[in-house]
Amino acid sequence: MSNVSATPPSNRRVDLSVKIRVHPWLKIFRRIAWLPAIVVACFAPQAAAAERPNIVIIMADDMGYSDIGCYGGEIDTPHLNRLAERGLRFTQFYNTSRCCPTRASLLTGLYSHSAGMGGMVNKRATGKGTDSPYQGFLNDHCLTIAEALKPAGYNVLMSGKWHVGEQRPNWPTDRGFDRYFGLISGACNYWKVDEGRQMALEDQPYTPPADGSFYMTDAISDYAVKMVDEYGRRDEPFFLYVAYTAPHWPLHAWPEDIEKYRGKYRGGWEALRKQRHARMIEGGIVDADWPLSPLDAKPWDNLSEQEQAEFDLKMAVYAAMIDRMDHGVGRIVEQIQAVGELENTLILFLADNGGCHENPVRSEVPGTPPGPRDSYLAYGKNWANASNTPFRRYKHWVHEGGISSPLIAHWPAVVKSGKLTQQVGHVVDLMATCLDVAGADYPETVDGKSIHPLDGKSLLPILEGKQRTGHEMLFWEHLGSAAVRQGDWKLVSAEGGPWELYDLSKDRTELNDLAKTHPEKRDELLAAYRAWAKKTGVRPPKKSRKNRKHK
C-alpha cells in the first residue's frame, strides 16, 4: 500500500503507560541466527520484548455456527480448516447476536451498551456523543484496540466493515487506526456501493471502479494482504482487523464460485442439518446427548421442483460467498508467512452473530436470480436454521443460535495444534487478550475523560493450554432479547417473552426449560441480570408477538 498516503495520527490523547519498550534493531537481531551468544545475552531482556506477536482478528458477517468445515459444515474452507488443525478451536465462544453490538464489544472489550452501541448504528450522528447506551456510535468513555495498541508500539490496521459510526469524527482513522480500507456502513451490494452506503480509503470517501472488477470480499482481502506486505516487514509489530461482509446478504458471488455448489443442496435443509449434526458430534464440537433442535422450516418435500431449485441456488450462492472469504483468509496467511511472521502471529477467526433469518427482497431488476449485481436477496430462515445447527433461533435473538460463534486461534509459537477447548469465552475478551499478549496497559482516563473498566478477561491462559478463571457471569441484551449465563446455567428471554432456564451442560440446544422446576436459580439469575441491566442502562424489554415465532 505504498501508493496510499499516510493517515494523520488520531487526535485522541491517550494517557497510557506501556509495559514494554522495544529497540528498533532488536527485531533484526532476533532473526540473525549466527549472532554471537554474548551479544544475545547482553540484549536478552529487550529481545524477549521483541517477541511480542503480531495480532490478526478476522471476522465473518452473519455466518452460522456450523457453516465452515472445521465446525461441521460441508462448505469448502481449506484455509480455515488448516488454521484449526494447527491451532485451537473454542466450542463455547459467544458474540452479542448482532453486527453493530458485536463490533463494538470486539473493538472496546466492553459490553456494547457501555460503548454506546446497545442497538444499531445511528447513521445521522456527527457529534462526540452523550454516553447513551443506545446512541449508535462509539462514545468517548471507551477505548478501541487501535487506540490502546498504538502507544504500545503497534502499527494498527483495518480492512473491512466498520459499522460503529457512520459520520466523522467516528470513522476508523478517528478512533486510532493508522490505515483503513472498507465499508463504513452496513449491508451493501458486493459489486458496487449502494445509495446511502459509504466506503472509505484511509479518511476519505472511496468509490469502487465501475469496470466489473470490484467484488467486496476480494477487495477486503486485497487491502489486508497489502497491509501485511508493507507492515509485516517493519521492525514494529502490527495489529490487523479484517472484517468481512461475507456471507451477509445480499447473495452476491462470482459465477465460477456459485457453479461449484449448484445442486449440492437439492437434498434440502432437513438432510443438511442431520449431516452437519453428525459431523459435529464426531468432531467433538457438540455433545451427542444434546438433541438436535426442532426443524424451524417448511418441509423440503412439500416444495415444488422449481422452489427446490431456487432454494438450492440461494444456498449455493451463500456457500460460494464463504468459499471466497476462505480464499481471502488463505491469501492473508500466505502473506504473513511470506514476510516471515507466521510463527509469532496470533490469528483469531470468529463470526459476529448466528445465521440470519431476514429475507429482504430489493432486487433492482425483479426476478433476477441471486448472484449478480442487479439482485438483492437473502437465503432466508429455512437455510439459516441449518447454518445454526444444532441450536435454536437466529441472529438478533440471544438463544444459542443467535450468539454462538466459531473461534479459531492460531499462534504456532504458543498454541498447540489441533486442540478443542470447552472453556467459555465472549467477544468482550478479545480486547483484553490483545492487551495481554502485547504487554500494553489500559488507561483510566483519556483527554481527562474516564474510561469504562474492561468487561473482558484475557484468553491467553486458554491459548497456553491452561485453565482460565472465567467470568462469574456473562450478560446479553439486544432489542429486548436478554440472557445471563452463570457456569452451565443460562436464563434467556426472547423479546420480552417468558424467562427460560437451561442447564447447558445437558441441554445446550435449549429444549428443556427448567424455570418452573428450579425457581430459586431462575430468581437468582434474574436478579443478577436486572442489577447488570440497571448498572449498564439497558432498556426494559417490550412485549412482542415475534417471540412466539422462530422457536
DSSP, residue by residue, 23-52: -TTHHHHTT-TTS-HHHHHHTHHHHHHHTP
Q: Which of 79, 113, 141, 163 is catalytic?
A: 163
Instruction: Retrieve residue 12's grid coordinates.
Output: 485522541
Whether 356 is catalytic = no
- How many CB atoms sit inside 10 A of residue 126's CB? 12
Instruction: Retrieve residue 535's grid coordinates.
Output: 448498572
Tell me, rounded to whole angstroms, the distance of Cα 538 from its chain centroid. 23
As a dihedral over the C-alpha atoms of residue 177, residue 182, residue 184, residue 189, rounded to 10 degrees, the angle is -170
Burial class (CB in 10 A: 0-12, 13-18, 19+), 213: exposed
- How many CB atoms sit inside 10 A of residue 252's CB? 28
Burial class (CB in 10 A: 0-12, 13-18, 19+), 220: buried
Burial class (CB in 10 A: 0-12, 13-18, 19+), 427: buried
- Beta strand 54-60 with 345-351 is parallel
Whether 277 is catalytic = no
Q: Which of 70, 99, 100, 188 is catalytic?
A: 99
H/E segment holding residue 476? strand 474-478
3-state secondary structure of 229: helix
- How many CB atoms sit inside 10 A of residue 108's CB? 32
3-state secondary structure of 242: strand
517-524 long-range contacts, Cβ below 8 Å, gap at least 24? Answer: 521/489, 522/491
Q: Are 356 and 67 in contact (CB under 8 A)?
A: no
The rounded distance, in Å, linking the Cα atoms of 502 and 507 is 7
The rounded distance, in Å, linking the Cα atoms of 53 and 422 is 25
Q: How many angstroms separate the Cα of 437 from the Cα of each of 107, 172, 486? A: 16, 22, 27
Q: Are 141 and 206 in contact (CB under 8 A)?
A: no
Q: Are 167 and 224 in contact (CB under 8 A)?
A: no
Which residues are the active-site residues? Answer: 99, 163
